[in-house]
Amino acid sequence: MCLNLVAKKSQEEDIKCYKVLTRTEDGKTLLSPVFSTMTWEVGKTYHLGVNKPHLSYDEYYIEGNAFHTFEDRNDAEKFKCSFRPLPGHVNVVAECTIPKSSKFLYTGVTSLVSWPFYEKGYASEALRIDKIL
């Protein structure tokens, strides 16, 4: 996994962040745009090891999968517009929360591809979708 690690942060409170999802045109189903086999529900908290493979890391390295999110909504909006949605779907930005008890890394890049408009974000072991913007 290609992440430019800036810092591993300790977490004393919830972190607000943004995630790009794809939604069916009828609004009933939310999917991860890259791994479209995972469905999401607003209000539900997802944990690695339960919903996805386990995340492990040491001070400077992350291994396995993680929930990738953007720190800034504008960066999420740019990413949303950078790819076509699945047929019958639309790309959306969700406001999310990384729960305060979660392990996470603060990264300089949130994607496997280091495109210039991707800015700061997170790779975390837990994530809650709060609302679709």
What are the tens digits of pLDDT across the range 44-92? 998 876 544 444 444 444 455 678 889 999 989 988 888 788 888 899 9
Task: Work out the average pLDDT over 91-111.
Answer: 80
Strands 121-124 and 39-40 come out as: unpaired
Question: 3-class DSSP state for residue 116?
Answer: coil
Check pLDDT > 90 for residue 133. Answer: yes
Q: Give the pLDDT confidence score for residue 83 in this predicted structure.
A: 79
Banded pLDDT at 100 (limits 50, 70, 90): confident
Check pLDDT > 80 for residue 119. Answer: no
CA distance 117 to 8: 22
CA 100 centroid distance within chain? 16
Listed residue (55, 100, 62, 73) closest to 17, CA to CA: 73
> What are the φ and ψ backbone dihedral angles of 121, each rounded to 5 degrees?
-160, -165
Q: Give the pLDDT confidence score for residue 109 in this predicted structure.
A: 53
Task: Work out the average pLDDT over 25-48.
Answer: 82
CA distance 32 to 23: 9
Q: Give the pLDDT confidence score for residue 54 in this predicted structure.
A: 44
Q: Give the pLDDT confidence score for residue 114 in this predicted structure.
A: 46
State what percent of residues in the chain have pLDDT above 90.
23
